[in-house]
Amino acid sequence: MDLASLQHGIIISCQAIPGNPFYNTGTMPLMARAAEAGGAVGIRANGPEDITAIKRGTGLPVIGIYKTEPSPDHVYITPTFEHARAIAAAGCDIIALDATLRPRPDGAEMPALIARIRGELGLPVMADISTFEEGVRAAEAGCEIVATTLAGYTAYSSATLGPDFALLAKLAAALDVPIIAEGRFWSPEDVNQGFAAGAFAVVIGKAATNPMAITRHFVENLLPLAPSNEQLAVTESVNPDSVDIDTKSIPEILAIMNRNDRQAPLAVGQVLPEIARAVEIIVHALQHGGRLFYIGAGTSGRLAIADAAECPPTFGVAPELVQALIAGGQDAVFQAREGCEDKERMGVVELKRRKFSARDVLVGISASGRAPYVVGALRYAQSLHAPTVAVINNPRGRMAEFADVLIAPIVGPEVIMGSTRLKAGTAAKTVLNMLSTASLIKLGRVSGNMMSNMRITCDKLRDRALNMVMLSAGLERDAAQALLDETHYDVAAALQRAKMP
């Protein structure tokens, strides 16, 4: 079959389990016909009987599976070649099989099974995987499609509350085969975010209990497909929510912006596992004499400078511990100098000037993921075997190639096309907040939730220090003031002294 017919479309999983009123062969073809009427481009179905009935009743391609007794310990989605042959004979167009690391009941190896299906049955194979490594392994074994179906459903994969957009984005950036997104898609917003992360198509499962109405709802709310040029960032595409914002009243403009801004924290929430891995890397480096470097251009660089500048007063660390570089230098902080980000070698020059080494960590920030200034710096850091992190909003950006950890909160197109100071910037600032704050908490620079190592530089901070000692040590104002005077306003020392008998 021509896989292009599935691209940027909704596939409906027409399945029911025992105990569900729909659990009979006669219902599944009706579900499939309703899904087709609602705009679906394909059907995922289980077992020879349902597949045969669905193929007889619709013109849609069918992704066939054959489920056996469910078990968390072994493969049960199309586990053997005989199961694959049965659904092929029933008329499916694509064979989906469990491509996780779990053993197959007949002991067959997944690469051999894929080769046999392609050779003897002549059908494309869709690999249902749960981790990035499994996706790479399946693509190398020759499958035509990789799907995130089992993310969070194996004992060793990370479960997310919603779709695993981070896994989806990482697979889309790394593999040449189509990536189908499946698992916990419940809203048009989920689907749009899936396509923004690089999905070829999206499978809707449990959310399609009323297939025609719900499928139509998903189809009608899809964002326009971005241009095929892979260099075009998600944030450079058109946001249908704001195409006529110039005709709106002030309250309407603000409502549109507020509605879009909500996507930033939701997107960051989907990449918390990647942020956690980056924090672990940063903590290890700082514990062993390394430094944390941010590097960005334009808005990304200014956000990096803001975060780095706050670390010394907040946590009492040396200014050299967390540093930020921006394309164009200090002048670019106060006035946009857009052309500076195109100079790839300048990022390297700046790192060399600061004697960046393998002990340090480099975090590159770019909404598009392709700023040459940042790409060059990441490439140089990797050549030194220094750990690298990329914070981007376009998972297909070049920076992903040079990052040990890819943090890609997908916020979708901006309210003003390309203005990444908006929700892309909000998401990036949130990520930087987490990287620096969590790292320095783990390094002991916070007591409870108090800034016990902050630098006292003004009356406001002296008052804050006094309140912290009073609250943390349970002291009256005069006693707390006496402790601070004795320790020359060293809050951590004052708190330690308060604990002494």
Q: Which residues pair with 67 in a beta bridge?
A: 77
Contacts of 486 (CB under 8 A, 6+ apart): 494, 497
Q: Which two tokens stand for residue 198?
A: 């690089």
Q: Is 476 a catalytic residue?
A: no
* Distances in whole angstroms, Cα of residue 295 to Cα of each of 114, 298, 373, 403, 425: 43, 10, 9, 13, 14
Task: Give 227-273 as a DSSP string.
Answer: PS-TTS-GGGS--GGGTTGGGS-HHHHHHHHHHHHTHHHHHHHTTHH
Terminal Cα distance for the chain, rounded: 79
Q: Is 341 a catalytic residue?
A: yes
* Distances in whole angstroms, Cα of residue 285 to Cα of each of 147, 241, 288, 296, 383: 35, 43, 5, 21, 17
Specify whether the CB–CB gap between 157 and 150 falls below 8 A. Answer: yes
Specify whether the CB–CB gap between 431 and 215 falls below 8 A. Answer: no
DSSP state of 390: E
Q: Which two tokens stand for residue 12?
A: 């409906």
Specify whether the CB–CB gap between 480 and 469 falls below 8 A. Answer: yes
Q: Which of 36, 182, 274, 341 is catalytic?
A: 341
CA distance 481 to 487: 10
Q: Which of 189, 280, 310, 401 is catalytic?
A: 310
CA distance 9 to 216: 12
Q: Which residues pair with 96 in a beta bridge?
A: 126
3-state helix/strand/coil string of 274-337 = HHHHHHHHHHHHHHCCCCEEEEECCHHHHHHHHHHHHHHHHHCCCCCCEEEEECCCCHHHHCCC
Burial class of residue 113 (count of CB atoms within 10 Å of its CB; 0-12, 13-18, 19+):
buried
Catalytic residues: 310, 341
